[in-house]
Amino acid sequence: MAATHDTPLSSRYDVAIVGFGPAGATLANLLALRGQSVLVLDREADLYRLPRAIHFDGECMRVFQTIGIADALSPDLVVAPGMKFVAADGELLLDWTRPTEVGPQGWHASYRFHQPTLEALLRQRLAGQAGVDVRLRHEVFSVEPGDDAVALRLEDTSTGRLLRTSARYVVGCDGARSTVRRFMGTELEDLKSHERWLVVDLILQRERPDLGDHSVQFCDPARPATYVRGPGMRRRWELMLMPGEDAALMSRPETIWRLLSRWVSPEDAVLERPAVYTFHSVVARGWRNGRLLIAGDAAHQTPPFMGQGMCAGIRDASNLGWKLADVLDGVADHSLLDTYESERSPHVREFIETAVRLGSLIQTTDPEAARRRDAEMRATRPVFKTPSPQLGPGLHEAGAFAGCIGEQPALGDGTRLDDRIGYRAALLIDPDWAIGPVGEHLTVVPADSPAAKAWLQRLGARALLQRPDRYVLGVASDRQSLDRLLSAWPDRRETARQAA
């Protein structure tokens, strides 16, 4: 995977990915599965060894399953039962319960994890992939799009050497201060939520079952706070900083232990990492400019109150990877890449806006406003349901089911659907419904198990077309609708090859 400094760069790659965090590493793995040549560039010498993201969902686990790391990752995960919002007096205001059994996607709905473990597995998996060139301590300083490729100039900061290469497409997975986004000229839309929080990661030295497995949002106007159970003995507290509080002073160990004294003491745990973050809520206006694209935090940032920050970047990679591969292989016209932002931006915006609304509940610091909030919530007893938005306009039909994440039933031989099809599209069809050729870019999968048949029945369909990112393109109940569905996934190889 990682080339030595003596190994020369190729003159051209299919895709160059700037940034080797979870989104960039996921995209690189998915492109490698589709046989693309990939250059990954990162300014750091190694992965970041301390905790950052702590939650992902079942949809992300399907992506990790596709890449081939789910089984290795599973022992280091804890299934999360949900989140409770409590008032200053401890009374429950809102119960966001997550099912703890395996769900329709073939995985649990919610997981807690240790980000360095995930990143290490993603990088190890890339090490076995042909055509992948990873360059650490390499910083991009020039991006020059041309008619058929993007010229890149970069510095190997370990040696000071200046290097040149090119790629047919460049994807910036390089974080909130994205260099690629700047070269694109893309601005950020501000969704008006920016608050400072102190994030404290601890490792317990003894069992503390009284802390519980649920995450807890302490909606205390004196100081809003969050508790999160991590895998193993890891625990996290997040504490809102008040106006005028000095971040350096609040990050001192003696201050932290005083703030955490109601829950934990230095005898209970070791302080692993304190960090002050400003939780932003922004969405980029323009995720693609010709051969330049952005993903992950470069395209959007969300407050953490739904645990969807990293999840959104994984979804970006899953949506974008197959589209780039189809364009590069000449299967689709380059205009397919325009559906990346149109589909993903409204989807991620719903999660961000929901997180902002939850944050407005949690971050109430005016005592009178908090009393009104508590009284209203106690009177109404709201139940929160995890959003499952449809994609925005793009490559899917209209209707209640199209553009929604699909299920993953076990098939007749016990194989799970995603394992049968890999990172490609599939037509799941009633086994009693004979059809002719559907083209070489669709895998036909008979719905030959009770779970697969039940899924079609719930949709009132005899066939459904699922995209490589596991979103449903559309469903069919008769021959006419099946013909329409198949025509939405045409083999445009010759015209696309000329355009790409």
For residue range 330-364, what is the model confidence (pLDDT) as tens digits?
A: 999 999 999 999 999 999 999 999 999 999 999 99
Q: Position 122: which residue type?
A: L
Give the Å distances, CA to CA, from 296 to 52, 118, 435, 436.
Answer: 14, 16, 40, 40
Closest CA to 188 of 271, 101, 287, 57: 287
Work out the end-to-end distance of the chain between its first and last CA atoms, rounded to an integer number of angstroms: 27
Q: In this structure, are residues 229 and 78 in contact, taking their beta carbons and an 8 Å threshold?
A: yes
No. of helices (H) and no. of strands (E), the chain: 14, 25
pLDDT at position 316 over 80: yes
The rounded distance, in Å, linking the Cα atoms of 270 and 280 is 29
Give the Å distances, CA to CA, from 486 to 63, 158, 266, 337.
Answer: 25, 51, 62, 20
pLDDT at residue 193, rounded to an integer? 79
Where does the pLDDT of residue 307 fall: very low under 50, low under 70, confident under 90, or very high at 90 and above? very high
For residue range 75-93, what is the model confidence (pLDDT) as tens digits?
A: 999 999 999 999 999 999 9
Q: Under 8 Å CB-to-CB from 161, ≥6 apart: which residues?
A: 5, 155
SS3 content of the chain, % helix, strand, coil (to 5): 30, 30, 40
pLDDT, mean of residues 231-252: 97
pLDDT at position 171 over 50: yes
pLDDT at residue 439, rounded to an integer? 72
Instruction: Locate the DSSP E strands across 13-70.
Output: 13-18, 38-42, 55-57
Paired sense of beta strands 282-285 and 300-301, if any: antiparallel
Paired sense of beta strands 195-204 and 269-279, if any: antiparallel
For residue range 411-456, what is the model confidence (pLDDT) as tens digits?
A: 999 999 999 999 999 999 999 988 877 777 789 999 999 999 999 9
pLDDT at position 190 over 80: yes
pLDDT at residue 192, rounded to an integer? 82
pLDDT at residue 492, rounded to an integer? 37
Query: What mean pLDDT is reported for the chain?
Result: 94
pLDDT at position 475 over 90: yes
The larger pLDDT score, comparing residue 233 to residue 398, is at 233
Where does the pLDDT of residue 491 fall: very low under 50, low under 70, confident under 90, or very high at 90 and above? low
pLDDT at position 500 over 90: no
Question: For residue 116, what are its two tokens?
Answer: 């360095």
Domains of the chain and CATH, by start: 13-78+112-191+282-357 (3.50.50.60), 417-499 (3.40.30)
Q: In this structure, are residues 437 and 47 in contact, taking their beta carbons and an 8 Å threshold?
A: no
